[in-house]
Each structure stands twice: as C-alpha cells, then as structure tokens.
Structure 1
Amino acid sequence: MISIDLPWPSPDLFPNARVHWARKAKAVKKARADAEWCARADGIRPNDPDIPQALKVTAVFSPPDNRVRDEDNMLAACKAYFDGISKLIGVDDSKWSISIRREVATRGGSVRIELEAA
C-alpha cells in the first residue's frame, strides 16, 4: 500500500463555497501541484510501472475541527488532489475504486490518500 499525506483542502474547493471562478481555478491548480509534490516526497515516481492500472483508493479525512461535514463534500474538495496524483502515476482516476474513512480531528486537518491494487 502507498500512502500520501496531504494538507486539508482549501475552503475554496468545497462545493458549497460559491467563490469566483478565478479564485477556485487558482485553488485547484495549487491543490494539483501539492498532491503531485507530496506524492513525489512520499517516494512515488512518475509513471511507475509497478503501480497497477486498477487501484483501490481510500481517502482518510482528519478534519481540522469537530464541525459536522458531509463526506461527499469532503471527497469533492479532494478532486484536484486525485487529479494531481493521477497525472503523476499515469493511471486515469476513472479506473479507481474510491472509499472514504473519517478519523479524529487534528489541528490544521489532513487528508491521507491510500493506494492499493484492486
């Protein structure tokens, strides 16, 4: 299993944010780059042939506080993260089977993406 630790997504990426399109585009671009660089820092090489084409992906959310959050909104806010990782490993995210897990709140919040062979 490969694990990638990422920061909590920008508030601009959540579906209910209703921000200007340019502000959201900037947040998406940063999130894609963050995901790619965090994956590289965790040892993933670009287009690694050892990574299978079909992946089971688990998004593990540790929110920054104990407020009530919808899991589908948290997952939607991570779409740019998935795109950045997908670009790096060379596996289209349409071939991923995604599941969600929530853990206890941590200061600042975080998202851990776990990749396994499907």
Structure 2
Amino acid sequence: MMHAVIFLPWPDRRLSPNARGHWSSLARAKRAAKEAAFYLTKQAGVEKIQAESLTVRYSFFPPSRRAYDLDNLVASMKAAADGIALAIGVDDSKWNIAIDPRGPVEKNGMVKVQLEWEA
C-alpha cells in the first residue's frame, strides 16, 4: 500500500454550499483552491499515480471551536479535490472518500489529505 500526505489551507467560506455570494466571487475562490491544491500536491512530492482507484482521507483541523457541518466541509473541498486530481492524474470519480475525526483547533485551520493506493 502506497500513501502520501498533503496539507491544504482551510476551505474559503465562499466554497460552502450554504454560501450565497456572487458567482464571480465563487469562481475566484474555486480557482484559488484548485491552484493551491495542485501546487501543494506537487510541493509534497506527489507524482502521477498509476492506480485504478485510491482512498482519499480528509482530516479537518478547524480555525476555531465553532461547530462546522461535516458534509459542508467535504463539499467545500471539491475545487481542491479537482486540483489534487489534476496533479496526480487520477480523476476524482475514482476516489473513495474517508473522513477522520476532526483534529484540534489549528490557527487559520487546515485540512490534512491522505492518499492511499495499491502500487
């Protein structure tokens, strides 16, 4: 079993399915999240993955003690998932998503993304 770990910034609140912002603001947030995920994946040393499927495990480290809705957090990660998929060459339709328990409060928040696949 092969694995890799990527640390991403906390998702922009405009990416939440409950956000009701202007479409252009949402488009900018999506583009920024996708680009950040792509470059942070490359920076973590993750190359193209030759796998039919992989498990992607999210661990959320919130920026505050506020209660965050877990399904909205996962949905907020869609643009970042597209950036990771582009970097590793495995379409996100072939991913199995898993969610670890939430981590402790982290200044500015972060998301730990673990990739696991068969070599």
C-alpha distance in structure 2 between counterparts of 1:5 and 1:19, whole Å: 27
Aligned residue in 1 for 2:99: 100
Aligned residue in 1 for 2:6: 4
* Alpha-carbon distance, 1:82 to partner: 0.4
Aligned residue in 1 for 2:115: 115
Q: Which amino acid is the alignment partner of residue 53 of structure 1?
A: E
Number of residues of Structure 1 aligned to a counterpart in Structure 2: 115
- What SS does structure 2 have at the residue aligned with 1:104? coil
TM-score (norm: length of structure 2): 0.92
* Alpha-carbon distance, 1:39 to partner: 0.4
RMSD: 1.1
Identity %: 41
* Alpha-carbon distance, 1:51 to partner: 3.9
Q: Deviations over 1:45-92 (max 9, x none)?
A: 2xx2x4422101101100000101111000011111100000111111
* Alpha-carbon distance, 1:33 to partner: 0.2
- Moved runs in structure 1, 4+ residues, more than 6 A? none
C-alpha distance in structure 1 between counterparts of 2:59 and 2:51, whole Å: 21
C-alpha distance in structure 1 between counterparts of 2:67 and 2:23, whole Å: 26
Contact 1:71 1:100 in 2 (8 A): no
Q: Where does the alignment leave 5 or more consecutive residues of structure 1 unmatched?
A: none
